[in-house]
Amino acid sequence: MKYRIDSQTETVIDLSVFGQPSQEFQIGSTSWVSLTLSDTAGGRIVHLVVDSLRYQGNAPQLGPATADSARGGVLHGVLGLDGRLGNLTATPADNLFLAELQGTIHGFFPKLKTGAKPGEVWSDTVVVNMAAGGTTTETRSLIDYTAAGIETIDGAPAMKLSTQSAVTVSGTAENPQAGTIEIAGTGGANGVHFVGADGRYAGGTSDLQISQSLKMAMAPAPIPMTVKRKLEISRIR
């Protein structure tokens, strides 16, 4: 299975505690990936390869070298019999684009409810741990799914799922000048996802917004930061 992943992220850091204006960063990427599933004891092996990646943005921690090293990169994990994705690793391990994909790939396996009727609602919790570029975070999402009927995607029927998520983020970042930065935040996300009759992910969209605070020894008060991300995933035939 091949997919195209379009991601647009806007980050605003409020530096008023230092008497400085806010900083704004834009990250735009388009990835073309190949996903394979193979049977194993206790579930299925998940193997994702980044076939190609295009990046535009002004984030100082990202650049052509980071994008180049992500091409050909691999995510590897196990999809358990309970439908949960675990033991997820990235190669190369410290690439920031692959770290973002570790969060994205969980969306390829939404929690399904057998025999769900239109309008029926159920919930699930997904925890994503990421470590790259000196930053380690845990993102916990409480997701409410709503069965929204059947639609045709690429000529085939697919179940439509609407999602609303409550999101919390915690972690740390190591900075050469500022030392250890504590990260904490809350927010929400809305999405629409499609799953084919064969159980394979057929694409979807999501909008995420998180308000975070950054605590560091050199700052007189926590630094507010807002992150907005739009994601669109399309299956390529």
pLDDT tens for residues 119-162? 999 999 999 998 888 899 999 999 999 999 999 888 889 999 99
Report, as an integer, the average pLDDT of 172-186.
Answer: 92
d(CA 209, CA 165): 11
Whether pLDDT at 60 is above 80:
no
Distances (CA, A) of 219 to 2, 131, 179, 182, 215: 45, 24, 11, 12, 7
pTM of the complete model beyond 0.95: no
Give domain limits for the chain. 2-236
Between 218 and 182, the higher pLDDT residue: 182
Domain 2-236 sits in CATH at 2.30.230
Reported as a pLDDT band with limits 50, 70 and 90, residue 61 is: confident
Reported as a pLDDT band with limits 50, 70 and 90, residue 227 is: very high
